[in-house]
Amino acid sequence: MSTMVPALSAVVTFHREGLFAHAALRSYLQSRAHARQAGMEVEVLLVLDNADAETAAIVRNHPDLLGDEVIIQASVGDSALARNLGLAQARGIHACTLDGDDLISREYFQRHLALAAQLPEHTILHAEMVVNFGRDNFVSWQLDQRTMPFSADMLISENPWVSAVFARREVFTAVPYVACHPQQTGFGYEDWHWSCQTIAAGYEHRVVPGTAYFYRLKQAGSVNATSSALQAVMPPSDLFGRWEEA
């Protein structure tokens, strides 16, 4: 492994994506290659959390792997904990989270790093556009706290950002993802909860012009769909005040 500190650690979590994992990983590795051509070092960490045999084989044998990727075998059974595992092994100045069946625009890593160099360290970045595909097909724009109307109160009813986020690595240490296990606890939406926690901690969410995140809407089986079917609620958040112990 190189001793150079990477500019970015890209943490990708895989579960049971099957063939979708091939296209997702190709997209991420192509974006890494583009960033490296621009002199920006990106390390890739691939977390196989209770991944089925097909998904694990596709990831481990992907033709675009260069051999310097970090593959982490895990059995935590939770998206939040899987992300935390990958982030704990990350070495980059910045880190970003990605899902194992989505896609990104070719300059995604490069543009995020370029904008981050111009902004304060307490900034969290998101793709400007989300192209939703699969079960439904539509385009949405992500919210920028500086350029769009924003109130923290809106997070009571909706999360204006998808789960793919970019920030300095220490942000994820200061505000780790909280495991939900909706079927056991009734809590859900770990990325929504993370959005609330980071805003409560004083971080600002911005978007990166010219970037797109291609978000696959599954027919069934997604964590969000499971949480919705169970009528899960977010864990207590510092943004809205924690429950007082009796």
Question: How many other C-beta atoms can be found within 10 angstroms of the C-beta atom of residue 103?
Answer: 22
Dist CA 40 CA 47 (whole Å): 22
Residue 218: predicted pLDDT:
79
- In angstroms and rounded to an integer, the radius of gyration of the C-alpha atoms of the chain is 17
Residue spans of the chain under pLDDT 50: 221-222, 227, 229-230, 243-246
Indicate whether 238 belongs to any domain: no
pTM of the model: 0.91
Give me the CATH number covering residue 24.
3.90.550.10
Tokens of 152: 């923290």
Indicate whether 123 belongs to any domain: yes
Q: Which domain holds residue 25?
A: 8-229
Tokens of 75: 């059995």
Indicate whether 245 belongs to any domain: no
Residue 21: predicted pLDDT:
98
Residue 236: predicted pLDDT:
74
Indicate whether 99 belongs to any domain: yes
Indicate whether 242 belongs to any domain: no
Residue 227: predicted pLDDT:
47
Indicate whether 239 belongs to any domain: no
Q: How many domains are contained in the chain?
A: 1
Indicate whether 240 belongs to any domain: no
Indicate whether 236 belongs to any domain: no
